[in-house]
Amino acid sequence: LPDGLTVLDAQGQYGSAGGIVKEPGKVVVIALDDTPDAEKRLSDAAEAYKRKFRQESVGIVRKRSCVSF
C-alpha cells in the first residue's frame, strides 16, 4: 500500500475455549480510492499480516468517506 497508512497500537480480546484471551494488537487505517483493485489490495495486505504475525484472522471495516490531505 504505497499510498500510505497509519498504524495505531491497540489492546484486544477474543473468546476461546479457555475463556477470554487479551492481547496487544494494531489498528491500521488505510484510505484508498474506490478502484477495481482496492479490494484485492486490502485482502492481500490482510493475508500478509496474518502470515507475518501468525494470526488466525484480521478484521476489515470498510467505510466510504470524503477525505483530503
pTM of the model: 0.73
Rg of the chain's alpha carbons, rounded to an integer? 14
Q: What is the mean pLDDT of residues 21-36?
A: 89
2 has a pLDDT exceeding 80: no
For 47, phi and psi rounded to 5 degrees? -65, -40
Per-residue pLDDT reduced to its tens digit, 30-64: 888 888 899 899 999 999 999 998 888 899 998 98
Q: Are 12 and 59 in contact (CB under 8 A)?
A: no
Task: Give residue 68's pLDDT.
Answer: 80
Q: What is the mean pLDDT of residues 17-24?
A: 91
